[in-house]
Chain A
């Protein structure tokens, strides 16, 4: 390695470390302030566990969390089924229209899907906004992600397997059941989990399709930030981050393959 390369290496490292710091310092501060003994949470006052206690007794927060979970479960199940079909159809039949319909919702600013669904639910279906409207909206934007992941999985496969199955007299269903499905299963699972995550995290589309009676965790966090921020927001953030971290560590320990992407 010549000097210039080494110098550039150092420069790269410095820049990269700065970016990592930019990514992590704000979150670290959020975590630290969750232990702040001050309702106003503007400056550091002292250490307390109080906000975690408050969190565990905050019924509105718990209800919102429960709603989020339920919505994510239902919408990810349905969108996984529909998205898998869409992925197969896009791959096998190269349907231009379907591909367009699947990918566009994913590529547009979310607010557009949110307001058009709001209009549709109220003006056409005359539906009361609530759980159902949120679930339908979440399915709509999740299908694309599942489909794309499933299609990617299929794209990597040798078409001759399917031909061989057909030549041996397998019906389309049998081909799907015994050949295609087992092969794309990791993609389906990954897509489903992606849909679950997207649903549980979605703010914008939920914001427009939720009405006011049903709150989800992101909506609840938003109203807390807008109206009365207390360190409880930090506490809930910290718990969410902590769980994520634990799971990743556990996964790295017990199923390192998963982390390396060898599905």
Chain B
């Protein structure tokens, strides 16, 4: 039985059946709903059978389990497998596709995570909530590998709680051949927000389904800081977005990777590692186009994601081992080579494939770095106002 509608219809049908019975004073026929539920009763049995079958195919449970709450598509299976072999434990992952989603789930009582990989602003919020466990740096000899530039951020001064994992940029990703063909600029947010460019791309553009990221891109294009909280500027950004919206295909947080690969979507506002992934997939599938990323000249958002220990995690020991494992240059480099994330690990650079190392969307040059901004956390009032702006954006 379908879940949503099912939950309403039985009593109505019954009530109707009964009403009609009482009206017509017929001898009682089998109430319809019972004969319905007789069809229905077969369904669960089968479901049960399937589930039992699925269970019998079996899964061995190791006693040592590390619970990781991570971004989707943010670690390679090979890396996980190697860590599992090394520690003789199992890694269980749950995923999120937006910091806000992760924070909301934690606020709604999600527990049991040893490790989380939040972005700076979300980490700041977790630290202020007193939800994190301080690191024992004695257990992290590889910490020395991290580039000083990524330590001691405003989000966690002194790195008492966090170790940089990787960074991603939120930028423009595009189908190189299509954009050449249409002769569109790819070095500016204008191509995402200006109708004169979008006219050629109607229905071929997606933007992130993230209030913060989209607002930041619009603010950047308008010449403001990504962390601007002036409501008047937010409204300007809103109007910019609403004007461009009719040309966009969707707000999308993850499946745009596939859409780029298939060739349905030609231009995205997305994460650098996702765009990297889309290009790999497109090449693997033998597409005749490349997916390329570029940092708009107006600037973009840099998200430094760090590994932190959640207080609710039962295995801080395994979590420390995992962090140190990921700090090893080779493992860290694997992450970059496979998923195209930026790497704050100096020791990793030597293992990174040259084509990745020279990709400016993965490793931005010094000039571009100056244009990147990290997002700060919003307070509850700002969150509510932003949510209303988001509602207007979605509705208009």
Contact = CB atoms under 8 A, between A and B. Distances in A.
- Direct A–B contact in the complex, CB atoms closer than 8 angstroms: yes
B18 interface: yes
Given A197-B1, A197-B43, A204-B3, A261 B30 contact: yes
B6 to A, nearest CB: 6
Nearest to A155: B18
Contact of B112 (A198, A213, A218, A229): A213
Main secondary structure of the interface of B (DSSP, over half): helix
A260 interface: yes
A211 B38 contact: no
Interface residues of B, number: 64
A207 to B, nearest CB: 10
Contacts of A42: 258, 262, 264
Interface string A224-263: 0011110000000001100110111001000000111111
Nearest to A257: B38
Contacts of B47: 69, 72, 196-197, 200, 240, 243-244
- Chain A interface, DSSP helix/strand/loop, else mixed: helix
Contact of A122 (B2, B37, B109, B285): B109
Contacts of B6: 198, 201
B69 A212 contact: yes
A153 B35 CA distance: 11
A145 interface: yes
Contacts of B57: 56-57, 62
A217 B50 CA distance: 12
A211 B109 contact: yes
A136 interface: no
Interface stretch (A20-28, A103-111, A172-180): A103-111
Contact of A187 (B4, B34, B97): B34
Given A63-B59, A218-B3, A40 B52 contact: no
Contacts of B105: 211-212
A244 B2 CA distance: 13
Interface in B254-281: 254-255, 257-258, 261-262, 264, 281
B370 interface: no
Contact of A141 (B7, B94, B111): B7
12 contacts: A40-B258, A65-B51, A65-B54, A103-B11, A152-B17, A194-B1, A197-B1, A213-B94, A227-B95, A228-B255, A229-B255, A259-B39
